[in-house]
Structure formats: C-alpha cells, structure tokens
C-alpha cells in the first residue's frame, strides 16, 4: 500500500528564552531500597552550569516526538504525532515540514535512504521528501485504538518501537522489534504508554519505559536481539514528572525527557540521577544526540493538553531545542 502526502513548507527560527527553576532530584529505586550503595560516579562528565536548551525550531508541535540524527545529511528529523507532521532541521537548510497521510510515532534512518517508521497503521517505509509511504506489516491490525509511539534503532540496526492505546485507557501497549529482513517480533506487552527504547553503549542492555507508571525498565539484550531479565531500573514520583523518550551517551549514561517535569535527567548506568537540566517547557518528550561531533542534544516537546494560561507561560511549548551537552552520543547504525 502506498499513500500520498502533501508537500512541505519552510518554518522560521527564533532566539532562545531559557528560564531558571529549582528541581528536586529523585534517586533510583535501587538506591532508595538499599540494594547496594551507589557512589558518586566522578568519572562522568557534568554538563556546564551555563549550558541551557536553546529553541531552534518553534514549530508549535502538538505532540513533538521521535528525534533522530541522520548523519549522511547532517540533519535532525522528528515528528508531530498529532499534527501529523514530519520535520527536518539542519544548519544549512533551517526547518522543513511535510504532512504525511497518517500519524507517525518514530523514524529510523534506512541504509538505502528514507526511513523505517512506526505509524498508526504499523511499520512503514517512509520517504517524506518524495511523499512515499509503503506498508511493511501491521502487528496490531485488529486493535483499532492502538498506534505506534516512540521507537529507536539499536546498535545492530534493528528497529524497536512500542504501541499504546491512543486513548490512554487500557494497558494494551506492546514493544516490537523489526529486523532488517522485515520480520517483526513481539518483545514485551502490558504497557499503558510505551516510550524509549534506548540502548547501552555496549549494546547489551535495553531500556524501555511505561510513562504512565513513571517506571524505566532495563533488559539484558543478546546479539540476536533477544531480551531477558526485565527489571526495574529507575522510578519517579508524580511531582517529578513522567519519564518519556530517552537516549544514551558515550559514557553509558541515560538522558531522559520528563513529561510534566520541565526537565531532562541524566542517569548513571546504575540508575542514579547525576544531573537535571531545566527546560522552558512543561512537556519535553524525547531527545537524541547529533551534530558533527555528536555532542549536541536535540530535544522535542509538546503543547497538547495545555490551556491558554499554560501556553502564555511557556510559549515555546512544541518547539525543538538544542543543548550543548558536554558529552558525545553514539552514532546510529542505519536500518537494513
């Protein structure tokens, strides 16, 4: 099945408008319940105190998500699930926008060009520039209320994406893996709001979140993509927000966007909160490393559910932000 899309149009940019905010840091469940003592990991880089997220694309996304750096283009791509929209930003071209014919939750760059995508109708091949969207498989064709949400490529170039009840009423979301041979696998289920996944720097650990439970899981990951030993990695209280999309840096630390939390948190491989980066928006949604040296962190955000008073306080809700992270990310291996 091929679907047509509307042509894109350029967007403008705006200067930064950071805010200051005190934020409590919540240690991981591991530390709270005494299963070992977590010592301060002094070997980890600390983001400079003066480094703040800068808005680079004020696109007013309803539900911005799925940032991914495409190295061959030196460009950041992301989506607005509810728009729907697909965006591209580069220093050379600024911001471009396309309107796809269906809602897209996440994109993974494909080796032959274009993307593999998790959508409201399953896995697709997507080429937003050409307006081509071709169905691969729909693991949940009989679940009309479900859609794909967040997704990422692992270190071997496999695409992982989670589904969720779009009404957020039933815990009927699942995590799937799509291999380069286009065969999909059910990995885990029972999620209300799936987010992540993310993968450790050595490729042996996968992180995945149920945002509704405010809980990040860790799994052992083998060379063939099999997972085992699901365990709680870190959990958070309501007042700290809900862990959303995430990525891993070259030091093995996990960067997590916090929905309703006004911040990002950087967690050690043990689940300890190392640092909090304040955001000028209430609902950051996900993050990905990019730039020539992979030392810039790009952060998506949302404005869905915010009333006029809330938007007056955070006019940049829905924008794409960039942070000089002070640490590098890890290059993705393309799908295929």
In the block, residue with structure tokens 């805010």: 19
Catalytic residue (one of 150, 244, 249, 332): 244
Cβ-count burial 91-117 (b if 16+ within 10 Å, e if not): eeeebbbbbbebbbbbbbbbeeebbbb
Distance CA 269, CA 41 (A): 10
- Residue ranges for the known binding site for substrate are 147, 149
- Residue ranges for the known binding site are 65, 147, 149, 195, 244
List the alpha helices (DSSP H) in the chain: 29-32, 308-313
Distance CA 211, CA 191 (A): 9
Query: Token pair for residue 273?
Result: 């909160």
**Is residue 244 annotated as part of the catalytic site, yes or no?**
yes
- Residue ranges for the known binding site for a divalent metal cation are 65, 195, 244
Contacts of 6 (CB under 8 A, 6+ apart): 98, 99, 131
Distance CA 69, CA 286 (A): 13
Q: In sequence order, what are the beta bridge partners of 133?
A: 3, 126
Distance CA 98, CA 5 (A): 8
Known catalytic residues are 244
């Amino acid at each position: 099945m091929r679907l047509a899309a509307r042509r894109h149009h350029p967007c403008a940019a705006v200067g930064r408008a950071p805010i200051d905010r005190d934020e409590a840091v919540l240690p991981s469940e591991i530390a709270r319940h005494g299963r070992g003592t977590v010592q301060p990991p002094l070997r980890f880089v600390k983001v400079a105190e003066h480094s703040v997220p800068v808005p680079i694309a004020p696109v007013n996304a309803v539900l911005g998500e799925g940032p991914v750096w495409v190295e061959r283009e030196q460009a950041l791509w992301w989506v607005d699930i509810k728009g729907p929209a697909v965006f591209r930003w580069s220093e050379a071209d600024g911001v471009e926008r396309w309107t796809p014919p269906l809602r897209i939750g996440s994109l993974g760059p494909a080796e032959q060009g274009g993307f593999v995508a998790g959508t409201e109708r399953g896995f697709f091949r997507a080429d937003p520039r050409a307006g081509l969207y071709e169905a691969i498989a729909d693991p949940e064709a009989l679940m009309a209320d479900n859609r794909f949400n967040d997704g990422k490529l692992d270190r071997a170039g496999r695409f992982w994406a989670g589904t969720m009840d779009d009404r957020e009423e039933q815990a009927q979301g699942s995590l799937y893996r799509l291999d380069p041979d286009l065969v999909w696998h059910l990995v885990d289920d029972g999620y209300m709001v799936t987010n992540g996944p993310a993968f450790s720097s050595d490729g042996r650990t996968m992180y995945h979140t149920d945002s509704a439970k405010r809980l990040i899981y860790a799994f052992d990951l083998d060379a063939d993509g099999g997972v085992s030993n699901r365990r709680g990695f870190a959990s958070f209280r309501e007042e700290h927000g809900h862990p959303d999309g995430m990525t891993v840096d070259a030091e093995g630390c996990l960067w997590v966007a916090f929905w309703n939390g006004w911040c990002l948190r950087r967690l050690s491989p043990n689940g300890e909160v190392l640092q909090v980066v304040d955001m000028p928006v209430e609902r950051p949604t996900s993050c990905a490393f990019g730039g020539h040296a992979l030392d810039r962190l790009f952060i998506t955000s949302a404005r869905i559910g915010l009333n006029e008073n809330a938007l007056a306080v955070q006019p940049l809700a829905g924008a794409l932000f960039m942070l000089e992270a002070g640490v590098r990310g890890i290059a993705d291996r393309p799908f295929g």
